[in-house]
Every structure is written in structure tokens, then in C-alpha cells.
Amino acid sequence: MTSPLRAAWLATSWLTVVPVPQPKSAPTRRDGGAALAATPVVGIALGAVLAALAYGLSRTDLPTLMIGLLLVTIAAALTRGMHLDGLADTADGLGCFGPPERAQQVMREGSVGPFGAATLVLAIAIQATGFAALTDHGHWLQLGYAVAIGRVAAVLTARSSLKPFSDNGFGALVIGTQRVSAILWVVAAIAAGAVIDLDQPWRGPVITAVVLAIVWAFGAHCARRFGGLSGDTLGASIEIATAATLFGLLA
């Protein structure tokens, strides 16, 4: 059994640029499942960092839209841009014609096509304006919460009912490994939503439930289209959930 400390260590080394020493032995699928189950912890830490940066930047004369763009840029830098890359590859795969094998090939090519480029622009625009608006209103907790929910979405997308479409790569280590952890993180996320808006405590849970329902449906659709999932689809889920949470909080 993978210890919680090793799981958090692996999640941090895989999903951020924090200089955590790499494990001496190759991680197993059990390690991968444990690391993915710890991903929301990384999301909470990242959300806290971005909220703190937003607070600091709000004390400058920078326009709030520029602050929002800076926060998206910093988030991408701290995560190696891998989630945005996964979003672009997934969009290109969904946008192509042909059987699942053709879609998988498109996702593996690495270059960004028209669907991927358009999706990236839209996602970055939504997140930047969302971060800017929350910064403008001083809603630091909501800003961090949106980032954390993105990582809960990754756990939900790797649920046990879905399988990887390849025997190699990151997806093979983590897709289909989340059972109890997916349920626990969804329940915790919905419950935590009650504290992000004390004037209307029902809003957070409703927004979170809707966002995670969208992620659930997105994962199921990708699994049908691609014949399984990959690490790219996890990245896409993270970016979609973050953007959708920001949209819901500001609607």
C-alpha cells in the first residue's frame, strides 16, 4: 500500500514544478492511483498560492484583467502547462473525423490544431476574466476554490468505471484507479462549497454539483469517442472544471 506521504510526494512531483526528488523506483499503477487521489491536496495548495498572489497584485495599480492573465500564466508555469496541453490535445481529438484510433493518433501528434487552439483561447479567456473579477471583488476564497475543484475533477475523471486507451503513459498509471476516493472528494467538495458564500450557502454546493456532473459526462463522452481515456483527458477535465466553476461563481 502506498503511504499518504508518498502519494502526496508523487502528486507534487508529477503535477507541479516544485523540485521534489523523483522516486528511486518506477511508480506502479497502485502508486499512480494513490498519487491521483492526493491531487486535490495539490490543488488546494495551488489555489492558496494563486489567491495569495491575487491579493498581493490587487494592492498594485495593475488592471484587474492583467492580474487575471498573470494568474493564468503563473498557474500554467507552476504546472508545466501540462493541463492546457491536455485540453488542446483532447479538443483536437474530439474535433477530428474517423474511428477512435484516428482520434488517439491526433492526440498523440503533439501539434495544436484549430480545435485545440480555439479551445485554449476560450479557456484562458474565461479563466483570466474570472480570476480578474474575483480579484476585483476580493473573493480570495472563491478564487482558490475554483482551482481546487479542477483537481477534484481529475479524480472523478479517473473513476473505476473508465479505462485507459493505452497500456503506456500517465493515463495507464491512473485512469480507472479511483473508487472510494472519487466519492469522498466529490462529497467533500460539495460540502466545502457551503462556506465560500456565507450569504448564500446553497450556491457553492449547487455550483460544485453541476460542475462535477459536467465533468462526469465529459469523461464518459471522451471514453466513448476515444475508446478510453488518457492523461490528456485528465488535463482537459481540470481546465474545464476550473473555468466552469469560475463561470458559476460569477453568474
The grid coordinates listed for 114 are 484549430
- Report the interhelical angle of 114-137 vs 64-78 (nearest 10°): 120
- Residue 72 to residues 68, 129, 218: CA-CA distances in angstroms? 6, 10, 23
What DSSP designation does 193 have? G
| Alpha carbon distance 236, 219 (integer Å) | 10
Q: What is the pLDDT of residues 170-220, one digit of tens each?
A: 999 999 999 999 999 999 999 999 999 878 999 999 999 999 999 999 999
**Helix or strand or coil: residue 164?**
strand
- pLDDT of residue 226 exceeding 90: yes
Question: C-alpha angle 150/133/196, rounded to 5°?
Answer: 55
Which grid cell is 217?
Answer: 459526462
| pLDDT bracket for residue 1 (50, 70, 90) | low
68-87: b (≥16 Cβ within 10 Å) or e = bbbbbebbbebbeebbbbbb
pLDDT, tens digit, 9 for 90 and up, residues 127-171? 999 999 999 999 999 999 999 999 999 999 999 999 999 998 899
d(CA 35, CA 33): 5
Residue 245 has a pLDDT of 98
Q: Which whole number is the average pLDDT over 39-63? A: 97
Q: What is the mean pLDDT of residues 30-36?
A: 94
Residue 34 predicted with pLDDT over 70: yes
What residue ranges do the domains of the chain occupy? 4-250
Residue 140, CA distances (Å) to 47, 48, 221, 244 in order: 9, 9, 33, 17
Q: Give the sign of the dihedral formed by CA 214, CA 234, CA 7, CA 43.
A: negative
**C-alpha to C-alpha distance for 134 and 143, rounded to whole angstroms:** 6
What is the rounded CA–CA span in Å between residue 209 and residue 240?
14
**Tens digits of per-residue pLDDT, 61-96?**
999 999 999 999 999 999 999 999 999 999 999 999
**Environment class of 119 (CB within 10 Å of its CB; exposed 0-12, middle 13-18, buried 19+):** buried
Report the alpha-carbon angle 160-166-171, nearest 5: 55
Average pLDDT value for residue range 55-64: 97
